[in-house]
Amino acid sequence: AQSVTQPDIHITVSEGASLELRCNYSYGATPYLFWYVQSPGQGLQLLLKYFSGDTLVQGIKGFEAEFKRSQSSFNLRKPSVHWSDAAEYFCAVAGSGNTGKLIFGQGTTLQVKP
């Protein structure tokens, strides 16, 4: 069955420090992978996505993610975190078929210390 696991429920980093959020997926074929961010009271916003090609993908707000097939991972990174990055982050995999269905992980809450 398709699934997404985000091992870290809550992460705290200092402003200016680097960030890595982990995501592991289970999918039999080539996965379509996404990272979304959800700020309080806001809808989910797409940060980046991976379908094929270069395994390092760039997104908005200075985020990037690396797809590693051997590890079934799609970790999100940012070299220097800003206070405004405090939010909840969701990794998702597209379901099989051309349905657009997304299967989300449970999310990681990022807290940024001044």
| Site residues for other proteins per CB under 8 A | 4, 9, 32, 36, 41-46, 49, 51, 90, 92, 94-95, 97-102, 104-107
Residue among 46 and 56 whose Cβ is closer to other proteins: 46
- Smallest gap, in angstroms, from Cβ of residue 15 to other proteins? 25
- Smallest gap, in angstroms, from Cβ of residue 61 to other proteins? 16
**Whole-angstrom Cα distance, residue 1 to residue 108?**
22
- Smallest gap, in angstroms, from Cβ of residue 44 to other proteins? 4
**Whole-angstrom Cα distance, residue 20 to residue 37?**
14
**Whole-angstrom Cα distance, residue 70 to residue 32?**
15
Residue among 14 and 55 whose Cβ is closer to other proteins: 55
**Whole-angstrom Cα distance, residue 56 to residue 87?**
23
**Cβ within 8 Å of residue 17, ≥6 positions away:** 80, 81
Residue among 16 and 61 whose Cβ is closer to other proteins: 61
